[in-house]
């Protein structure tokens, strides 16, 4: 399902209305909500459609929305229960206010960005004597609301000043120098200005010391009348500029320094937030956090990777009360009513007809809505029918795994844990798999401002859903970000094509295949068949292990290597000789059976990652029933493991590769059959003889001799040694020696040219210092490859000349 995203949605709807020439202020609440629901119906299905097109296997009949009737009922139930227990309260508090969205933000909805700013040093004259103190701040406009100067009580420098009074510049307010433990004596001068109305730490100092609160900035980030006639109505940044000018005129400005500092911005619109005092609703967090901390400490709930448990614990151990009210219209309206006559507060699901205290019928509901994350925190049980004790709740709570991004551990994960423990007395899930963020090819976070976001529907149209899915898990490790490149999509699409073509090959060679005949036949699997079955089971074990550890990157790597490098590149080639002949029906039937068996198993292994292509092929396989989704997932069968077959085939394949490498280096026509000798120890000689047919067919050999030291070697040969086997290829009749030497000399000249060019480029400081790093590294790699190729050519030329 989806949540209603109160701030984000309201911003979108307001913008849409503004385009139509209508301001939110000109509409009633109901008129606005009607427009918001229209927007939701138009755009709200987009995420669901993306999930469906990507192949998410869900029971879509159970789709939920946080503002639907069932979820809304659960939200009101939880609010009332927490209120009755004293865990929800209303109070004046300093909040993070977004002047653009016109709502409060919780601490974790504020994004802190390092920003170049200024440190302004200025004077506060003493009231009763000559002289002054100097204070530094990044926000001089808030000075107009100062109600104290604070020092640390044990700071010997200022002990005699505690109790003295100074004058706030420009507004001439008398304020006292006070002592408070919060002040850091080591930072700056060890003195801080205290503005309780516009800084959360100052607010706490003000509470402890019973300081006056002077609000000089309003909800539009403009200066209030309390800031003084000269500044009232100015934007906060205009006021800052004027305050500095006026301080300078009065000789009170000491100096201005450049200063890097963190500035809090709204996570939705990037507006710099303004700390303001406001009456808001809060959840008391300490009692709720304790069991949620214990659940992770005692490993009842586990993070994957584990490092995120430290992130979670650090936040939970330092948690502040959660501000849950938002000055918006789109969302769950707070179920609180106020009596206009006696100010009684009534918390109720239903709108009361009269005040229980005075009987008045003049009541109004709280205008605010709840933070979106309040309803999302209830998701694991609100979607299952709670507060009713439903069969779904009994069956599906708790669940096993939560898959989510690291950026919402505090927003969502932590809150689901403490709400689940509070209202179900049981954890909502056992494991939390944290995935990283998808970044662009340059490693930047995707955002609208950079214009580097991607729509999965566009990617699917171009490359296919399977390619997108495979790309997203390839090279992916738990908790780490990944870069999204088009080349990776192309590689995944090529992989899908490889699977399709390999499957077509198998199916084309099953036209005369009889499943019933297999049951009666005495199949005799070959070395290649035994090797493939063993490798298939080994890979099934690797995948099972990777899935147990939520390491989907390892899973994709095992699948890719097995399917492309072993099944397609080797096994299919090894099958062809038996499939293409009719002299030995049993050999052909055996090859058909194991080809089908292997394909069927690897489709099941691959299905969770690439569901569309595997389902399509599955439906064409003989003997399969229903959807592949319901087929048993392959497990490692110890009885099918055959280390001896794997070892034998490894030797045979190494010999084939050695012959191919020499052929390639000697530029032998790929279709030409050549002579070869294999000299090996006795135990390996037996393996080579068993694999003779594979070597002859795949290495294109017409006269293969296998023996030991007794083998007669021709004069001119090219050799290679692999796994104690000497591969000997007679050059006579294989190549024209003189022409080959001439060709190599030309290629050596080409390499000399390329080496000189690359060295020249890399000796150019302008290129090395100014070109993109990947371009420079690429040139270095090319130089290395040219040098290595030249060395090989010289070595081969020497061999031929001798």
pLDDT at 743 over 90: no
Q: How far is CA 232 from CA 96, 240, 253, 542, in A?
A: 22, 12, 21, 69
Complete DSSP assignment for 300-340: SSEEESTHHHHHHHHHHHT---EE-EES-SSS-B--EEEET
pLDDT score for 774: 84
- pLDDT tens by residue, 558-607: 999 999 999 999 999 999 999 999 999 999 999 999 999 999 999 999 99
Question: Exposed/middle/buried for 646, CB within 10 Å: 0-12, 13-18, 19+?
Answer: middle
Superfamily of domain 97-277: Valyl/Leucyl/Isoleucyl-tRNA synthetase, editing domain (3.90.740.10)
Cβ-contact 324, 281 below 8 angstroms: yes
pLDDT at 625 over 70: yes
In three-state form (DSSP H/G/I as H, E/B as E, the rest C), the secondary structure along 203-215 is: HHHHHHHCCCCCC
pLDDT score for 36: 95
More confident residue, 31 or 724: 31
pLDDT band for position 108 (cuts 50, 70, 90): low
Long-range contacts of range 126-133, CB-CB < 8 Å, 24 or more positions apart?
126/164, 126/165, 126/166, 126/167, 127/164, 127/165, 127/166, 127/167, 127/174, 128/164, 128/165, 132/166, 132/252, 133/161, 133/166, 133/177, 133/189, 133/191
pLDDT at 738 over 90: no
Q: What is the mean pLDDT of residues 182-197?
A: 90
Residue 769 host element (H or E): helix 765-770
Q: What are phi and psi of 269, to 5 degrees?
A: -120, 0
Angle at 500 between CA 56 and CA 441, to 5 degrees: 60
- pLDDT tens by residue, 191-221: 999 999 999 899 989 988 999 999 999 999 9
pLDDT score for 448: 64
pLDDT band for position 415 (cuts 50, 70, 90): very high
Where do the structural domains in the chain lie, given as residue ranges? 61-87+284-333+368-435, 97-277, 456-621, 646-735, 738-801
Residue 144's closest CA among 16, 242, 67, 35? 242
- pLDDT tens by residue, 678-730: 999 999 999 999 999 999 999 999 999 999 888 888 877 888 889 889 998 88
Whether residue 326 has a cis bond before it, omega within 30° of 0: no
pLDDT at 106 over 80: no
Residue 134: beta bridge partners? 123
- pLDDT tens by residue, 527-571: 999 999 999 999 999 999 999 999 999 999 999 999 999 999 999
More confident residue, 330 or 733: 330
SS3 of 435, please? strand
pLDDT at 34 over 90: yes
- Architecture of the domain made up of 738-801: Orthogonal Bundle (1.10)
- pLDDT tens by residue, 475-504: 888 989 999 999 999 999 999 999 999 999
Strands, DSSP E only, in 126-181? 132-137, 148-151, 165-168, 173-179
**61-87+284-333+368-435 CATH fold:** Rossmann fold (3.40.50)
Rounded to whole angstroms, the Cα distance separating 783 from 563 reads 33
pLDDT at 792 over 90: no
Rounded to whole angstroms, the Cα distance separating 177 from 124 reads 11
Residue 113: beta bridge partners? 263
pLDDT score for 719: 81
Tokens of 601: 């198993």
- pLDDT tens by residue, 73-101: 999 999 999 999 999 999 888 889 999 98
Q: What are phi and psi of 728, to 5 degrees?
A: -120, 120
pTM over 0.85: no
pLDDT score for 737: 77
pLDDT score for 449: 67
pLDDT score for 446: 82
Q: What are phi and psi of 278, to 5 degrees?
A: -155, 150
Rounded to whole angstroms, the Cα distance separating 739 from 216 reads 91
Rounded to whole angstroms, the Cα distance separating 7 from 12 reads 9
CATH class of domain segment(s) 456-621: mainly alpha
pLDDT at 646 over 80: yes
- Mean confidence (pLDDT) of the chain: 93
pLDDT at 418 over 90: yes
Tokens of 472: 């997203």
- For the domain covering 646-735, report its CATH number: 3.30.2320
pLDDT band for position 732 (cuts 50, 70, 90): confident
SS3 of 11, please? helix
- pLDDT tens by residue, 426-459: 999 999 999 988 888 888 888 766 788 888 999 9
């Amino acid at each position: 399902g989806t949540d209603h995203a109160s701030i984000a949605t309201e911003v979108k709807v307001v913008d849409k209305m503004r385009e139509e020439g209508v301001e939110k202020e000109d509409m009633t609440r109901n008129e606005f909500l009607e427009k918001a629901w229209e927007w939701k119906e138009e755009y709200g299905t987009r995420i669901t459609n993306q999930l469906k097109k990507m192949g998410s296997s869900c029971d879509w009949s159970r789709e939920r929305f946080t503002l639907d009737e069932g979820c809304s009922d659960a939200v009101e139930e939880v609010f009332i229960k927490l209120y009755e227990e004293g865990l929800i309260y209303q109070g004046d508090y300093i909040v993070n206010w977004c002047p653009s969205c016109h709502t409060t933000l919780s601490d974790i909805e504020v994004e802190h960005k390092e920003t170049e700013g200024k440190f302004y040093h200025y004077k506060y004259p003493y009231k009763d004597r000559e002289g002054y103190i100097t204070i530094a701040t990044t926000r001089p406009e808030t000075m107009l609301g100062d109600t104290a100067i604070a020092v640390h009580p044990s700071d010997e420098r200022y002990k005699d000043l505690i109790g003295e009074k100074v004058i706030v510049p420009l507004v001439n307010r008398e304020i006292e120098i006070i002592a408070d433990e919060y002040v850091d004596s080591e930072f700056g001068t060890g003195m801080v200005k205290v503005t309780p109305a516009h800084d959360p730490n100052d607010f706490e100092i003000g509470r402890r010391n019973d300081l006056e609160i002077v609000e000089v900035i309003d909800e539009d980030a403009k200066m209030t009348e309390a800031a003084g006639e000269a500044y009232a109505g100015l934007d906060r940044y205009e006021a800052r500029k004027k305050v500095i000018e006026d301080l300078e005129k009065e000789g009170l400005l000491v100096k201005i320094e450049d200063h890097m500092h963190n500035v809090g911005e709204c996570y939705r619109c990037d507006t710099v937030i303004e700390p303001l005092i406001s009456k808001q609703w809060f959840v008391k967090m300490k009692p709720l956090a304790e069991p949620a901390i214990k659940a992770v400490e005692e490993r009842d709930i586990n993070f994957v990777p584990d490092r995120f448990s430290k992130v979670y614990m650090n936040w939970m151990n330092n948690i502040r009360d959660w501000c849950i009210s938002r000055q918006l219209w789109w969302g769950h309206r707070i179920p609180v009513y106020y009596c206009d006559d006696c100010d009684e507060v009534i918390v109720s699901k239903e709108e009361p007809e009269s005040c229980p205290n005075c009987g008045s019928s003049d009541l109004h509901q709280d205008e605010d809505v709840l933070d979106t994350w309040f309803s999302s925190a209830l998701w694991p049980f609100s979607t299952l029918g709670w507060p009713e004790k439903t069969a779904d709740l009994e069956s599906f709570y708790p669940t096993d795994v939560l898959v989510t991004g690291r950026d919402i551990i505090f927003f969502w994960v932590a809150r689901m844990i403490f709400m689940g423990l509070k209202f179900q007395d049981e954890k909502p899930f056992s494991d939390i798999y944290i995935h990283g963020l998808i970044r662009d090819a340059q490693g930047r976070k995707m955002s609208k401002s950079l214009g580097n976001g991607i729509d999965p529907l566009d990617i699917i149209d171009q490359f296919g859903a399977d390619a997108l899915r495979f790309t997203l898990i390839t090279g992916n490790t738990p908790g780490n970000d990944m870069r999204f490149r088009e080349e990776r999509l192309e590689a995944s699409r090529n992989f899908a094509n490889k699977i399709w073509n390999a499957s077509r090959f198998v199916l084309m060679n099953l036209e005369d295949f009889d499943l019933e005949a297999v049951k009666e036949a005495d199949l005799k699997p070959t070395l290649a068949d035994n090797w493939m079955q063993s490798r298939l089971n080994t890979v099934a074990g690797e995948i099972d292990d990777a899935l147990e550890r939520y390491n989907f990157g390892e899973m994709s790597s095992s699948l890719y290597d097995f399917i492309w490098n072993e099944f397609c590149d080797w096994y299919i080639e090894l099958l062809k000789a038996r499939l293409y002949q009719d002299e030995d029906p049993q050999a052909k039937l055996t090859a058909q059976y194991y080809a089908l068996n292997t394909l069927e198993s690897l489709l099941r292994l691959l299905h969770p990652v690439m569901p569309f292509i595997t389902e399509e092929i599955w439906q064409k396989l003989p003997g399969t029933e229903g959807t592949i989704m319901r087929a048993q997932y392959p497990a490692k069968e110890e009885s099918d493991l055959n280390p001896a077959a794997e070892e034998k085939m490894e030797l045979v394949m190494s010999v084939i590769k050695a012959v191919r490498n020499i052929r390639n280096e000697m530029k032998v026509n790929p279709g030409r059959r050549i002579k070869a000798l294999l000299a090996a120890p006795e135990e390996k000689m037996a393996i080579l003889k068993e694999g003779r047919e594979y070597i002859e067919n795949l290495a294109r050999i017409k006269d293969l001799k296998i023996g030991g030291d007794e083998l007669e070697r021709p004069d001119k040969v090219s050799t290679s040694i692999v796994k104690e086997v000497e591969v000997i290829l007679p050059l006579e009749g294989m190549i024209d020696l003189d022409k080959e030497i001439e060709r190599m000399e030309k290629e050596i000249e080409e390499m000399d040219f390329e080496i000189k060019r690359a060295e020249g480029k890399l000796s150019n400081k302008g290129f090395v210092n100014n070109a993109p790093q990947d371009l420079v590294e690429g040139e270095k790699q090319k130089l290395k490859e040219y040098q290595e190729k030249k060395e090989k050519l010289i070595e081969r030329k020497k061999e031929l000349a001798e």
